[in-house]
């Protein structure tokens, strides 16, 4: 799990339960994407909440979740 601390001391990450994040202070959690099934039974990762693309389609949900996390970590989390 990657934690990014900005100059103001705010911590950013892609949410995961690997660390007890509440111990860092008050949390603000917001949606970074939506992983949803398509009518054809595939899966997409819509990253528009953070200004990103629509990824997919993927044959299964786990592949969409992996692509979602990779994009968020590479593009959103490292934006600073």
* pLDDT tens digit sequence for 29-67: 999 999 999 999 999 999 999 999 999 999 999 999 999
pTM of the predicted model as reported, rounded to 2 decimal places = 0.85
Taking only the tens place, the pLDDT of each residue in 15-28 is: 989 999 999 889 99
Evaluate the CA torsion angle 21, 52, 45, 37 in order and state its sign: positive
Within 8 A by CB and 6+ apart from 38, the residues are 44, 56, 57
Q: What is the CA radius of gyration of the chain?
A: 14
Of residues 42, 39, 3, the one with CA closest to residue 21: 3
């Amino acid at each position: 799990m990657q934690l990014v601390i900005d100059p103001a001391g705010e911590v950013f990450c892609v949410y995961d339960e690997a660390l007890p994040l509440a111990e860092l202070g008050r949390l603000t959690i917001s949606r970074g994407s939506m992983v949803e099934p398509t009518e054809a039974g595939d899966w997409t990762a819509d990253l528009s909440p953070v200004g990103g693309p629509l990824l997919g389609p993927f044959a299964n949900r786990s592949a969409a979740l992996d692509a979602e996390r990779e994009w968020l970590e590479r593009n959103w989390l490292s934006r600073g």
